[in-house]
Amino acid sequence: MYSSYQYKVNTALDLLLSLVFNVNTAEFPRVHRKEDNLKLPKNKEILEINSGQTLSWDYVKNINLAKHAGFCYGVKRAVETVKKLKAENSAGNVFVLGELIHNTDVITELEELGIKTLYEVPACGDGICVIRSHGEAPEVIDRIEQAGFEAVDLTCPDVKKVQRKAVELAKDGYFVVIVGKSEHPEVIAIRANVQLCSDKVVVAASVGQLKPYEKEIAACRKVGVVIQTTQKLSTLNSIVDYLTPLVQELSVANTICASTATRQREAQELAQNSDLMIVVGSRKSANTTHLAEILKDITRTIHIENDKELDGFAELINNSREIAVTAGASTPQVIIEKVVSKLKNYR
């Protein structure tokens, strides 16, 4: 069964082909979409005309790529600066403390350039040791310098802002709540900075994690809240709702970085009009994982690390017509391009 729209397109196509190619299209098998009730996509085109035996055409999928997919400025700055440091110090050591970004291809590329990853600060060493965009505890930076390295601080300026805000709140006598996962390197560094001037600080990624501190928090007149730069706004809102009736004075700083906020907002808008959202990036990346979590509430969403993982979702992709792709802040452009290019091969 064809809709009248499909029928008109078919008839026009028949006429065009018979005039241009002098072929009788009735002889060729055709592939049409099977779902009669699927809404019509915005564009349509002939997918393939094999001069041999098969004429195949269909409504093409709309594949939308988010404008803000991939490296944020903080990650771009870190990757470019590390490469530049190595180019300027080709004979010397350039290390990064911890993986510069959550992407194995990039880490391998850096290693091939001679930029090595350290997983802990050695007792002694020489050359440059880079602090990645997540930031580091001041005590760790001291140890890097004491070991004999030159510490080059590439903490993202937006992460620095959170560190400064949290310290400012602590100095003003606020009990500081850091919203984020306690094991996240950015959170570890924010807390370490606060602990230089106050021991009234807790980390919580949910209301449940804050509840054990309820008495301690309620006993404080003033509570200040900051949030890790790539967290979800909904998590901040739920924590603020929980704290509001508990404390006399609540100071909340929404320190989610502009890059994350823009990426999340844009992806949410795309998801509203998509059958399928594809989030590309490492499962170790907090911002990528949060992006997928947010989108799952809006439409069908899959989180993949690279184009090869698309194969596991072939049926889902074949049955989707409006597909949008976004990617985390540590996903290189080349990986995003491979995903988009491979998507075009699905029906």
Please identify every residue annotated as catalytic: 186
Q: Residue 130 or residue 210: which is nearer to ligand SF4 going by CB?
A: 130
Q: Residue 66 or residue 75: which is nearer to ligand SF4 going by CB?
A: 75
Asked if 259 touches ligand SF4 (CB under 6 A), the answer is: yes
Instruction: State in angstroms the smallest separation of the CB of 13 from ligand SF4.
Output: 47
Q: Residue 143 or residue 181: which is nearer to ligand SF4 going by CB?
A: 181
Residues counted in the chain = 347
Q: Residue 243 or residue 329: which is nearer to ligand SF4 going by CB?
A: 329
Binding flags for ligand SF4, 219-238, as an x/- string (CB under 6 A): ----------xx--------
Binding flags for ligand SF4, 135-164, as an x/- string (CB under 6 A): ---------------------x-xx-----
Output DSSP code: residue 117: E
C-beta of residue 242 within 8 angstroms of C-beta of residue 210: yes
Instruction: State in angstroms the smallest separation of the CB of 272 from ligand SF4.
Output: 23
Residues 347, 333: Cα–Cα separation, whole Å: 24
By CB under 6 A, how many residues form the interface with ligand SF4? 15
Q: Of 29-37, 72-80, 143-151, 196-204, which part binds ligand SF4 (CB under 6 A)? A: 72-80
- Residue 29, judged by CB atoms within 10 A of its CB (0-12, 13-18, 19+), counts as exposed
- Residue 342, judged by CB atoms within 10 A of its CB (0-12, 13-18, 19+), counts as middle
Binding flags for ligand SF4, 279-318, as an x/- string (CB under 6 A): --------x-------------------------------
Residues 27, 305: Cα–Cα separation, whole Å: 43
What residue ranges in the chain does DSSP mark as E strands?
45-49, 55-58, 62-65, 94-97, 115-118, 128-131, 150-153, 175-179, 201-204, 222-227, 249-252, 276-280, 300-304, 322-327
Q: Residue 30 or residue 265: which is nearer to ligand SF4 going by CB?
A: 265
Asked if 101 touches ligand SF4 (CB under 6 A), the answer is: no
Residues 254, 229: Cα–Cα separation, whole Å: 9
Binding flags for ligand SF4, 106-135, as an x/- string (CB under 6 A): ---------------------------x--
Reading the block at residue 44, the tokens are 């349509």
Instruction: State in angstroms the smallest separation of the CB of 328 from ligand SF4.
Output: 9
C-beta of residue 51 within 8 angstroms of C-beta of residue 21: no
Strand pairing report for 45-49 and 55-58 = antiparallel
C-beta of residue 139 within 8 angstroms of C-beta of residue 120: no
- Considering only 163, 231, 235, 260, the residue that binds ligand SF4 (CB under 6 A) is 260
Asked if 178 touches ligand SF4 (CB under 6 A), the answer is: no
Asked if 331 touches ligand SF4 (CB under 6 A), the answer is: no
Q: Residue 137 or residue 261: which is nearer to ligand SF4 going by CB?
A: 261
C-beta of residue 162 within 8 angstroms of C-beta of residue 204: no
User: Where along the sequence are the contacts to ligand SF4 (CB under 6 A)?
Assistant: 72-75, 133, 156, 158-159, 229-230, 257, 259-260, 287, 329
